[in-house]
């Protein structure tokens, strides 16, 4: 059985955890927007056949970075981070062979 003190302590801890998560998420989004775009000529981009415009690649079948579960850009953004490329961004319209659907 919980006492009023333990209940309010739990609530406080939940709020602190939520605030920390929100701050981390906001920080990640800001960093992703500031990242330079990866070049299609870089080895890690070539390894997954990354292109800046997936609409020009039949293999993409209409999929794009902004519909990929590894994309870190905000909704409606023109570019954002990708979990594959640390410190580099990708275009929202881009695509690569590692594309995975969002859940």
Residues that bind ligand SF4 (CB under 6 A): 48, 50, 65, 68, 70-71, 82, 84, 90, 94-96, 98-99
The number of CA neighbours under 13 Å toward the Cβ of 85 is 31
Pair 77, 92: CB distance under 8 Å: yes
Residue 38 DSSP symbol: P
Name which of 14 and 78 has its Cβ closer to ligand SF4.
Answer: 78
Supply the minimum distance, in Å, between the C-beta of residue 42 and ligand SF4.
12
The distance of closest approach from Cβ of residue 2 to ligand SF4 in the complex, given in angstroms and rounded to an integer, is: 44
> CA 12, CA 50: separation in Å to the nearest integer?
45
Q: 26 vs 44, which CB is nearer to ligand SF4?
A: 44
């Amino acid at each position: 059985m919980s006492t009023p003190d333990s209940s309010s302590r739990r609530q406080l801890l939940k709020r602190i955890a939520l605030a920390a998560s929100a701050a981390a998420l906001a920080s990640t989004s800001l960093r992703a927007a500031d990242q330079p775009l990866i070049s299609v000529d870089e080895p890690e981009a070539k390894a997954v056949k990354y292109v800046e415009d997936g609409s020009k690649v039949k293999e993409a079948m209409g999929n794009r970075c902004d519909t990929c579960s590894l994309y870190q850009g905000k909704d409606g953004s023109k570019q954002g981070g990708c979990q594959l490329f640390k410190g580099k961004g990708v275009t929202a319209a881009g695509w690569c062979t590692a594309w995975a659907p969002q859940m």
